[in-house]
Structure 1
Amino acid sequence: MKKFLILFIFIFSSLISCTSEETKTTYYLIRHAEKDRTDAANKDPNLNRKGLERAERWADYFEKINLNAIYSTNYHRTMQTAEPTAKSKQLAINNYDPRDMYDSIFQNNTAGKTVLVVGHSNTTPTFVNNILGEEKHKNMDDHDNASLYIVTITDGKKMSKIEKVE
């Protein structure tokens, strides 16, 4: 009986050590909320009233999601979109350069984490495509402030979906 018990423990221990823990990274990517369009020459406008309200709704959306990091381009409208969520999560907003998305540093810093990325109508789908390694998504409509791209990487397998969050 002792031999069977020892054999059972050995086999069970071997099976446990052979199974690897699943590594999952999740990216939530959104475009900034509605911006002030009263001055077409202003390249860095703030959010308008509707945009500030949407930024608060994004914070409500992410309330039950355990975010590890928040990234935003360094523009007023993207930072203002990220701020309510960052405040509620007590996280700093990390800036990224939209010309250098999903580089090795970003990948290493976010591997195995759940991350919010705030960008623009042209950079958000591009960022998603860079993560996926394929040209799957086209630029967003300039008035689309409700699309949420969710990209998951589980043990190297990459998947994406889009949700509308009004």
Structure 2
Amino acid sequence: MRFLTAIIATAAFTFIDTSVQAAGEFNGCKDYDVFILRHLEKDNDGTKDPSLSKLGKENAKKLAELTLFSNIDHAFYTPYKRTYETLEFIEAEKNVYDPSQPQQLVRKVKDEHCGETVVIVGHSNTVPDLVSAFGGAFTVSYAGKSLGQTPSVSLSEKDYGSIFRVTFHNERLHQQLYQLNPKGQTKVQLRK
């Protein structure tokens, strides 16, 4: 059982840290920079639409102070308080999106925000689909060998602060994964 848990944990969160892929199927917008993250720490108040916890609110302030987020042009959030509150301190125009329609959001970003830097806040079960919709790729490997299939990925309910970056520039797709340090430290590290 421990062995299976290790495989699932590895498979569920193996992301190509800094990969570059040929553009292939991208039409229209030839330049975008998208940051995608799950909302920050939420209050466990038993409601369907909780606000951020005290730590989540502190981290939202720190997130907005990061150099990485200093030039955000536009931000998107779902119709839940915790996603808006994650973006609250980021200086950018903000709009709500439907988390069940990731392709619709991708079209909107490419059609209306081409050439801009965008941040999107979602949920543990929607962030991986958004990353994939913008061209990011997750891989599953075992013993150093790729299983060669597209995995079904969901973030852990305890995963707060993973920032997925998908950039399309000069006909190339770049992806990076950053981690907002636990306990609200302002330093962002490239997760290796």
Q: TM-score range by the shorter chain?
A: 0.7 to 0.9
Q: In structure 2, what residue type is equivalent to 1:93?
A: K
Q: CA deviation at 1:62?
A: 4.6
Spell out the pairing of 1:11-22 with structure 2 (5 A cutoff).
none
| Alignment partner, residue 18 of structure 1 | none
Q: CA deviation at 1:106?
A: 3.0
Q: In the superposition, relative to structure 1, how do residues 97 and 62 fare at CA in structure 2: closer, same or farther (>3 Å)?
A: farther
1:135 and 1:63 mapped to 2: Cα distance? 22
Flag the structure with higher helix content.
1
Q: CA deviation at 1:65?
A: 2.8
Q: CA deviation at 1:143?
A: 1.0
Size of the aligned set, in residue pairs, is 138
Q: Deviations over 1:56-110 (max 9, x none)?
A: 111111576311111111100000111111xxx2x33111111111432332112
| Alignment partner, residue 155 of structure 1 | 170
Report 1 or 2 for greater relative contact order, CA contacts < 8 Å, sequence distance ≥ 6. Answer: 2
| Alignment partner, residue 6 of structure 1 | none
Structure 1 unaligned residues grouped into runs of 5+: 1-22
TM-score, length basis structure 1: 0.75
| Alignment partner, residue 145 of structure 1 | 160
| Alignment partner, residue 84 of structure 1 | 89
1:98 and 1:132 mapped to 2: Cα distance? 17
2:42 and 2:69 mapped to 1: Cα distance? 26
Which segments of structure 1 move beyond 6 Å, counting only runs of 4 or more? none
The structure that has the greater radius of gyration is 1
Q: State the identity %.
A: 29
Q: CA deviation at 1:165?
A: 1.2
